[in-house]
Structure 1
Amino acid sequence: MSVLIHINGYPGAGKLTLGRRLAEAIGGKLVDNHSIYNLALALTEMKSPAYFETLRAVRVIAFQRVLELPPLTPVVVTNAHMTDSDWGNENWDAWADLARQRGARLLVVVLDCQADELDRRIASPERAARRKLTDPAQFTGARTGRMLIDRGGDATLRFDTTGLSPDEAFSRVLAFVTEERAQPAGG
């Protein structure tokens, strides 16, 4: 069965590491949030009208390419979207609509993580080389009291990555995805 796996989590929760491993393990394609955001971050002022226009334009191209994939090719998506964000809700709904257009089951994986561990991970030097957020202070206030979006999936797995190794997190998600892919259509 075709699946779109949407991994949502705060910066530093392990989305990209997990997404890469999962896409490779299941023969899927990965569209991580940085592949959508980097052009807007490089060429526009963050959260300006041009920034959101750029994000939408890049998303349109990405969606066209996803729709051109063979129908059974799994798609793994990473994002950091909160319930109180207009952009987050718009983008989340767009990905859910894309899953429906592909006739795919939408599997939602939400990665929680304790704030002090997120701060430690965000400050990791290897993040800078990947054009990722590296200053925990830039995100600390932005996550306070905010909930990650987890709605609309055909199945949802939510867990805390704080004390888990990347291998342990990957094993949990792979087991979830394997089980859900075995479900009959509409199951």
Structure 2
Amino acid sequence: MHIRRRRAVGRHDASDYGLRGAEDGAGADHPDLADRRHQADHPPGVAQVAPWLKAYFTPAEHHSPEMKEALRLSDELVAKLIANDHVVIATPIYNYHLPAVLRAWIDHIVRKGLTLGFDGKGLLHGKTSTVLMASGGIYTDGSPIRDRDIATQYLRLILKVMGINDVTIIAAGGAKGVDLSRVTREAFLERLDSEIELAGA
């Protein structure tokens, strides 16, 4: 998926469900696209990392060298987010929710004083986001299981909390049809092309 904007950050590959991803070289012609698809770059979960939590709740002026190191990756991710004007997220949905690695990235970037004000208001003004979500089931309007669409609500909330209100959701529901050979990969992707092109216009 190519999103043609001046700068974009935060891409997470959804190729697990057969969407265009790393194997296509997506983003190769956009050197300004900050890409976090690769396993080596996946941020560790912060909830299980005591040093990270201790550093997070300690005022910056009191940070020890160890605390600064604990927050180093988080600081880098936040800096990239702040420096860019368009957040692109492509993700599969597992058991109605986001993969652990994407939730870990979110934990790293929702930072009081950086992306979230101490008054609870978001600090990332003037940014937009495009979210492409691949799911086995279909959870869009009219679906009998619409109420199971937890992931979309969660991502919209997280982005809104940080001040990003201009969010475009591209729902790639019914991806299990590709796995079950009910629809070809090409046909499944073709129905998304117009939405993707519109988002990248």
Same fold (TM over 0.5): no
TM range (shorter): 0.3 to 0.5
- Identify which of structures 1 and 2 has the higher relative contact order when contacts are C-alpha pairs closer than 8 Å and 6+ apart: 1
Which protein has the larger Cα radius of gyration, Structure 1 or Structure 2? 2
* TM-score after normalising by structure 2: 0.43
